Structure 1
């Protein structure tokens, strides 16, 4: 059901508290500092499959998510923002992007960020669970606080897609909503990954080796026999080289593999690609269902069956 909130009928002295509450409940917990004397804002929520699509407009404001706020109110959602009017500055993880009308940006609720809107603005925001995007884009963390230009061909495609998604409205059929939503996220992920990462030059021999290993593992997520010896042999490297390459990213090959397996199973469950939890587990390399459920809950804070119920 579509839901709207507006400050128009709220007393001026109560608007800041009201708007801060709306923003925190709709998106993620942040501080909110109006940059104009009279705060004016409106947001409309459009439930869309396993994501949340919103249309927000407001007077100038600044929002910040700090380490302390993250500790008190954790979230793993990723937020795509399409600017319709005005401008937005995103800062996260040492990156800064200034977005104008038509541009798209991405930020991560699990990491500190700041958003600065120096003028009245309007935007469409798509909130996507991290594992859903992680299952599509291996280097998703490299996309944060980057400008995806709206004037590019792919940018124009994404603009049209998100605008039309709002126009379509609610779906009573949850399975249909999940399928359509999955298609939208597929296109959005492919477009933004190609625009921001597709043309990168990897001049590092180690970087090229790591990319080759990751591609090999992603193609074999369902292989329960996949281990370091097999990965190293198939990629024509020594096991110690595999260990060293992943250590450069602060992880291990097996931990990276498990994270991608869990993300892929989350996607399959959330988007209705499987009819049973056991099917998701088997498809992505988990033979012990009890262990799969425990690992899934530890990673995402929910049991896998809770996602299955939403689409079947």
Structure 2
């Protein structure tokens, strides 16, 4: 982006190429795919002390911040999106925020994210430097792409405040610094209101999800984290505090299921590889090595020992 914060009056575009240039100037480099046959977009931006308030109006599209674009130019900024018109979806860190008018969410320009707008839309975007928001909201990185409803509580108050800062009509003067502080404080209140579930509850839910999906070879830690509505990093830390990893837990649960099935007389004629595959372990050679490392004997030796006994 250019100088931050910046002023941009009616930066408009009628092609995707020019729209990418407008967005890169107002925010950070982004990739955009239009949905539909027509396209137009417009951005208004204005500084508010050390923050930037913008309104983006455009047609249906998918907007992405990729790792390649981040390497080209990092942002070190949080974006707070307030849906003004239409509906939007924001995805980051394995979470998905679904926004109706009045709802808001936060996302980090230094990590990949995706915005999906299936309708023509209007979104107010508040750019906040990391140094401003992180000290007031230490948990912000665990709450990216979480929907903050604008219908009640601190979400409603924050939504109303941000609407009042619409750069198309608001021209803050000497009070800009106070409004900037108020916006950051209200955002911190929103994040504080997102009660953190007890660690045991999160881990138990993750373990339950894993048990229910062991047969899927594609089961991954990121999928598990998304299913229990926490970031992958947060879930990894919770497992590490218990002396485990998510990947290791998935592997061990699969091996346990195979151990029991191999000991089941009703499954004595079922091939070892078929039993392993039924629990998501589709590489027979790798399964045999992993089983032996855990139990001290191969799957066939385990089955033969039980039969002999």
Q: TM-score range by the shorter chain?
A: 0.5 to 0.7
Counterparts of residues 1-312 of structure 1 (less than 5 Å): 3-7=8-12, 15-166=15-166, 169-173=170-174, 176-194=175-193, 196=194, 198=195, 200-203=197-200
- Does the C-alpha gap of structure 1 residues 18 and 187 become closer, same or farther in structure 2, counting only changes over 3 Å? same
**TM-score, length basis structure 1:** 0.59
Deviation digits for residues 188-222 of structure 1, max 9, x if unmatched?
2212331x2x3533448xxxxxxxxxxxxxxxxxx
**TM-score, length basis structure 2:** 0.60
| Matched residue SS, 2:10 | strand
| Matched residue SS, 1:115 | strand
CA distance in 2, matches of 1:3, 1:64: 22
Could you say which structure has the larger radius of gyration? 2
- Residue aligning to 2:214: none
Deviation digits for residues 154-207 of structure 1, max 9, x if unmatched?
22111111111227733444xx4223201221112212331x2x3533448xxx
- Does the C-alpha gap of structure 1 residues 246 and 88 become closer, same or farther in structure 2, counting only changes over 3 Å? closer
| Matched residue SS, 2:138 | coil
The answer (yes or no) to whether the contact 1:4–1:42 under 8 Å persists in 2 is no
- Does the C-alpha gap of structure 1 residues 69 and 136 become closer, same or farther in structure 2, counting only changes over 3 Å? same
- Structure 1 gaps, min length 5: 205-244, 250-312
CA distance in 2, matches of 1:145, 1:22: 24
CA distance in 2, matches of 1:159, 1:56: 16
Give the C-alpha shift of residue 153 in structure 1. 2.3
CA distance in 2, matches of 1:247, 1:97: 25
- Does the C-alpha gap of structure 1 residues 201 and 77 become closer, same or farther in structure 2, counting only changes over 3 Å? same
Question: Over aligned residue pairs, what C-alpha RMSD do you find?
Answer: 2.6
Question: Structure 1 residue runs of 4+, over 4 Å off?
Answer: 245-249
| Matched residue SS, 1:4 | strand
CA distance in 1, matches of 2:83, 2:39: 19
| Matched residue SS, 1:190 | helix
The answer (yes or no) to whether the contact 2:92–2:113 under 8 Å persists in 1 is yes
- Structure 2 gaps, min length 5: 1-5, 202-236, 242-309
Number of residue pairs matched by the alignment:
202
- Residue aligning to 1:212: none
